[in-house]
Chains A and B, each alone.
Chain A
Amino acid sequence: MGSLKIVPILLLLASPALAQTYGVGRAPSAEELAAASITISPTGAGLPRGRGAAAEGEKLFKEKSCASCHGEAAVGGVTAAPRLQAKKGPEVNAWNREWGGNGIPVKAPFATIAWDFINRAMPLGNEGSLTPDEVYALTAYLFAINKIIPWDQVLDQDNLAKVKMPIGDEWARVPDWKKPGSPRLAGYPY
């Protein structure tokens, strides 16, 4: 057993890739990696298991004090926290629905963006305290009051990324700024 363990280590030490490193730092444990892995892909990868619908979300919106900043029915006007229910609905273009703040529940190209924002940044003063079920329910509530999904649709780790967001394809993709030193905008001399 012992010799079987030693052989791969010797091979690694001999490889040029490892020889170039300083060997500083330590490998994270599986638990540490899991605790850190909070970024959510637009494809839904990284979402934890869970489920929730608008009715529970509406209750949580009051219980978790969301309404005390964002207003009853998420129409704002209480503090500087933005309204989360756009003034206008699907009858107008997503860019013109008169949201508050960044307009995430309406303007986000991916449903996962709204989920991620609530999960990491809310509620104020107690960030990161919501369970996955609660985040799914609050996301469903905000989507439902903005008429993005039906009131009774249950959101979960498998269907969240499939929600069709109102902005559709009408947003600028990441420009070609990937190569250092490339011009800011082709043809722009400034």
Chain B
Amino acid sequence: MDSKPSNRREILKGGALAAGAAAVGAVTKVAEPALADTTTPYTRNVAPMVPSTDVTIAYGTRSHYVNSVRIQEAGRAVPKIYTDFGLSAHIQTPLQDSYGSIQASSLHYFATTKGSFVPDIDPAQHTLMVQGLVERPRIFTLADLKRLPSVSRFHFIECSANNHADNHKDVQESHGATSNAEWTGVLLSTLLKEVGLKPNAAWFIAEGAEEIKGADTIPIAKGMEDVIVAYAMNGEPVRPQNGFPLRLVVPGFEGIFNTKWLRRINVTDEYQLNMDDFGHLRKDLTTATLGYTWGPKSVITFPSGSQKLPDHGWYEITGLAWSGQGAVSKVEISTDGGKTWHVAELKGTAYRMAHTRFGFMWKWEGGEHVIMSRTTDDNGAVQPTRQQAAEFFKAKYTSKYRPPGLNNTIMPWKIAADGSVTNGIA
């Protein structure tokens, strides 16, 4: 048969490669769709047959047509060099290109203290010590931990810096510091029973093995409730940027508590305000109080900033909803700036402290629209608008308003008459 590609096919292929090259390092946009070749008889191969390689057979790769990438948080310098201490890396996930409720491990957001540096830990050399106010301090190897009863649970982890603002041009910039994964490991409560808590145990300090030995103080009641010492995410070992070989998952608590490269649990009777805890120091109690756990939050990922609706007609408005206090019980969509609300469909099971995908079919018949999503969790807590938060705290509202603590307010997107979508915060 004819092995020479037609001109049309070369044009299609070249066009896609050029678009792919342009998208690397930048936010992916919805490209003008190239017209599909639908007239060639189906018996002919329109796509070239490409051999797999040892590498792609061994671990797999995505299509070279898929170019969605993580980016450094907007406004932060890209840390490259060793002296960039203090330039913490905050690498955001491309939510605009995400499907379902989990992030691929390769796209999971991450944050570090020392630029892009992460510790290179030999798992055979890594241990977890549980000590302090316990009856029987213990050292666990990874092999030890894998002998204990395991759990596999979906949980989101979200950075306190995930604070959408009016200058963010797309959902990766505004909300890309949250990700959801299936975490597998041992419940911390299993380990705490193994070592036996003393009666005065009130807090535990989780400490990492990285250069600064990041340490967070967490209530022991939370540790006995649902904290996981995780050795795997999404079916394989936790990745180095996410804490290989062990990380703590503290469902619903802001990102920094989810201690990576976990090496020690120190049970105490006092809140020590050491290291990572110091970042929570605030002057007023309200801001401090709202700075530990996430309230109900959601965001529309399609259509969202920098995307474009190509034509009038039906679309599924879709996005993610989650809560640091429980499971999502409801998501509502407004297409008229919050005047009226419609209940969206939850896609699959809404787990506690986990992203839940939602969808709502909407017919765009032209004109300008401000679209937004609002979630309610199973405690009855409702995601507020920015204006509602300002009103509650008796603050003057402007587009620059930022609520105290972690920002879980509603994100509006504006659809223009030509279908282009921009940040709707006003």
Q: Which residues of A contact B (CB under 8 A)?
A: 17, 20-22, 24-28, 32-33, 36-43, 69, 79-82, 95, 101-102, 104, 107-110, 113, 116-117, 120-121, 124-125, 127-128, 170-181, 183-185, 188-190
Contacts and interface: CB of A to CB of B under 8 A. Distances in A.
A6 to B, nearest CB: 19
B266 interface: yes
Contacts, number: 177
A80 B87 contact: yes
A24 B114 CA distance: 35
Given A121-B212, A181-B325, A172 B282 contact: yes
A81 to B, nearest CB: 5
B419 to A, nearest CB: 32
B288 A172 contact: yes
A37 B265 CA distance: 11
**9 interchain residue pairs of minimum CB distance:** A172-B288, A175-B289, A25-B138, A121-B212, A190-B384, A178-B219, A172-B285, A80-B86, A25-B140
A124 B117 CA distance: 12
Q: Pick the most buried of A102, A104, A109, A189: most chain B CB atoms within 10 A of its CB.
A: A189
A50 B135 CA distance: 30
Contacts of A42: 270, 272-273
A20 B278 contact: no
A130 B129 CA distance: 24
A181 B213 CA distance: 29
Given A184-B381, A189-B392, 14 more contacts: A17-B135, A21-B194, A26-B138, A39-B268, A79-B85, A113-B274, A120-B213, A120-B215, A128-B213, A172-B287, A176-B289, A183-B381, A185-B290, A188-B392
B381 A27 contact: no
Contacts of A33: 131, 137
Contacts of B137: 27-28, 33
A190 B205 CA distance: 29
Interface of B: 77, 82-87, 114, 129-131, 135-141, 144-145, 147-148, 193-194, 196, 205, 207, 211-213, 215, 219, 221-222, 225-226, 264, 266, 268, 270-275, 278-279, 281-290, 292-293, 295-296, 325-326, 379, 381-384, 388-389, 392, 405, 408
Given A42-B270, A69-B85, A25 B282 contact: no
Nearest to A46: B272
Given A36-B131, A42-B272, A121-B211, A180 B225 contact: yes
A126 B389 CA distance: 45
B110 to A, nearest CB: 19
A184 B383 contact: no
Nearest to B380: A189
B274 A40 contact: yes
Nearest to A170: B283
Nearest to B83: A79
Nearest to B207: A39
